Structure 1
Amino acid sequence: MSAQSKSTQTAVVCHGGVDLRVEEREIPAPKDGEVQIQVAVTGLCGSDLHYYLHGANGIFKIQEPLVLGHEAGGIIAAIGPNVNKDFNLNVGDKVAMEVGVSCKSCKSCRKGRYNLCKNMRFASSAKTFPHLDGTLREYMNWPADLVYKLPPSLDLALAALAEPLSVVLHAYRRANLQPGSKILVIGTGAVGLLTCALARASGSTSVIAVDIEQGKLDFAKSQDWVTGTFCLPKGPRVSGLEALTVAEDGWKALKASEAIQSVEGLEDGFDAVFECTGVESCMQLAPMAAAIGTKVLYVGMGTKVLSLPCGPSLLSEVDLIGVFRYANTYPDALSLLASGKLGNVGSMASHYYDLKDAQNAFEDLKRGKDQNGKTVIKPMVGNLSLIGK
């Protein structure tokens, strides 16, 4: 059903901590330069879960009801006025949406680093106010210059992976690695798994993944995205000196693990460490695992104030590199997803839910397993009929 034949739509709206409501909302007409998209699928991620559980993501607290979701793909339902013909967008096109709207005029934007735009409005983020609604709804109007046609061979459901893969591409570009590199990935959520897949596809000879969930590590190994895994024991999220002790103990355990010992040369550390959790103790572990003169990429969003073991890092000339979202990645991410070079990335979409069942998706993501005990990798929520589910 097209938006023209109906006036309201279903939306999944967060009003606060564990206060998620399925509501009916108006469908506005697209404005100048916008296209209207029938959203097919949204992948849930860690920031969505934080908003669901706490009504906030770090220091960014919801001030008004907010539609969650930002990893999405859909089908163009209408073209608004004055959409540039050079975009070659037409009704019926399958597309992915880049959901950060930058100002295009600040210094960062002019340099092409629009991910650092101080005026960025990001869909489903409470960082700016008024908030910009996300993708967990039936229809959304979006700037045409942030909408990308899918390669013909790319399944519509996989369009939702372009957003986390963009984060990974941005991090990998900042790492500037060569084939044959030895990589450590801490955390095997969607971003961590895609980091492993990209590292293997880029010629890394050793890719070791670390997590506290054995099921996710087993999944990474089943896809041949890693050469070894190590499951850290679960423990409290601690900080300061206590966290540093945990990190040191974790590195000793990591070095002693069979996965590390079985790969020649890793006793001296890794060529790059991708920290994809944002957990302080893991962020502290990362520099200890890096080889002399190498890099740590902080991909996970950590706390605003944290303690890092900078002393050893400085003496070893280990570069600590921040990674914030992405810039100029979407076309490459979509091409890479369509190429098949990353392997069976579609298997990451472990669970599918209709919009009206979004709360079940969030609860399964919180547990890390569904009600049958199956590991949840990436829950997908949306109009399942559009993706043949």
Structure 2
Amino acid sequence: MLGCVLYGQGDLRVEEVPAPVPAAGEAVVDIRYGGVCGSDLHYWREGGVGDFLLREPMVLGHEVVGTVAGYGPRASGPEPGAPVAVHPATPCGRCPECLGGRRQVCRDIRYLGSAARLPHVQGGFAARIAVPAKQLRALPDGLGLRAAALAEPLAVAVHAVRRLGPVDGRHVLVTGAGPIGCLVVAAAKAAGAARVTATDLLPEALRYAGVAGADVCVRADDPADPGWPAEVDAAVEASGAASGLDACLRLVLRGGSVVQLGMPTGGRSAFAASLVVSKEIELRGSFRFDGEFDESLALLAREPGIEELISAVVPVGSAEDAFTLATDRARACKVLLEFAG
């Protein structure tokens, strides 16, 4: 069967990989779609994500959906043939973070397509994969596999909005209108935000932010843009750029909350700490998700328009073309790989 295997920086190959044999407690899933994530692009272009460096060939991908093919010993779940989404995380359940209810920052987590540990955790960009059966999620009625492929990145966005605190009736700023930023817009509106302002450098990215529900879209490099708000109640920085965080800190009201979701390039970023002090800003990080995965599936079923953020579906045999397209934010928002017809 075909899989997308990364051998090193810039060395992505679509090749035959062994069919999985499920262990006890595992399910086998025939993958239909896989979303190309920013972390997949970092592995491909740079050979790593932050401190997670590629040290052996690894199947990429963690945003995957498909149909149940079967189960290993002592495993059960949705019946064979049922459409499912795959929760990509397996927390350890033993560390202080897991025991404290913050499994998304588990210190010993296993995550599909991650080089954080050795051997690496192989990912989901393959025609058939085996995963713990407890990671399968049956799709809500009316939700198709194509739209369900957005569940993982939408869960990241839902978690970030939750980290803001209550947003009902409030004005939320989102800096960075890439796929995650656009999904943050959708998640904020779904959580009751009265107004969402999105900023980005690219007109096409801002167009997708509008599709996601942004009330106002602002060119981040144009201080004279009339869409800039005088003040906002809360803000999510989704670009990873220092200028994005600076805008959030400047525009959030005193005592407001700012969530840093975008990963700063190089791992370090200067920021206006004096504003955090003088305005008593609540500055929080946001990393991955936990139960929000199930919430995102329900949200996708309720809000079918979110699927419009999918800008291209590319056959797995042209995976490198899909990755190249996904890096071009002037042409694409969310790009999916298709593994079966």
In structure 2, what is the Cα distance between the partners aligned to 1:54 and 1:224? Answer: 30
Q: 1:237 aligns to what?
A: none
Preserved contact between residue 79 and residue 90 of structure 1 (Cα < 8 Å)? no
Preserved contact between residue 154 and residue 296 of structure 2 (Cα < 8 Å)? yes
Q: 1:297 aligns to what?
A: 259
Does the alignment pair 1:381 with 2:337?
A: yes
1:1-389 to 2 correspondences below 5 Å? 9-83=1-75, 85=76, 88-221=77-210, 223=211, 225-233=213-221, 253=223, 256-260=224-228, 266-267=229-230, 269-302=231-264, 303-340=266-303, 344-369=305-330, 375-385=331-341
Q: Deviations over 1:190-233 (max 9, x none)?
A: 21111111222333222111111111102322x26111111223
Number of equivalent positions: 340
Pair 1:140–1:224, CA change in 2 (3 A): closer
Q: Deviations over 1:342-387 (max 9, x none)?
A: x511111110111111000011122335xxxxx21111002251xx
Preserved contact between residue 26 and residue 71 of structure 2 (Cα < 8 Å)? yes
Q: Whose radius of gyration is greater, 1 or 2?
A: 1
Pair 1:121–1:224, CA change in 2 (3 A): closer
In structure 2, what is the Cα distance between the partners aligned to 1:289 and 1:384? Answer: 46
In structure 1, what is the Cα distance between the partners aligned to 2:2 and 2:242? Answer: 38
Q: Partner letter of residue 24 of structure 2?
A: D
In structure 2, what is the Cα distance between the partners aligned to 1:167 and 1:368? Answer: 19
Residue range with higher mean Cα deviation, 9-18 or 31-40: 9-18
Q: Partner letter of residue 376 of structure 1?
A: A
Q: Deviations over 1:165-196 (max 9, x none)?
A: 11111112121223210011011112111111
Q: Partner letter of residue 357 of structure 1?
A: S
Q: Given the two structures, how large is their TM-score scaled by the length of structure 2?
A: 0.95
SS in 2 for 1:167: helix
Give the CA deviation at 1:78. Answer: 0.9
Q: Partner letter of residue 354 of structure 1?
A: P
Give the CA deviation at 1:106. Answer: 1.2
Q: Deviations over 1:312-367 (max 9, x none)?
A: 11110111000011111122111111112xx5111111101111110000111223
Preserved contact between residue 110 and residue 121 of structure 2 (Cα < 8 Å)? yes
Runs of 4+ in structure 1 off by over 4 angstroms are none
Preserved contact between residue 353 and residue 384 of structure 1 (Cα < 8 Å)? no
Preserved contact between residue 13 and residue 66 of structure 1 (Cα < 8 Å)? yes
Residue range with higher mean Cα deviation, 223-232 or 163-172: 223-232
Preserved contact between residue 212 and residue 231 of structure 1 (Cα < 8 Å)? yes
In structure 1, what is the Cα distance between the partners aligned to 2:323 and 2:109? Answer: 26
Q: Partner letter of residue 298 of structure 1?
A: Q
SS in 2 for 1:273: strand
Identity of aligned residues (%): 31
In structure 2, what is the Cα distance between the partners aligned to 1:283 and 1:145? Answer: 37
Q: Partner letter of residue 33 of structure 1?
A: G
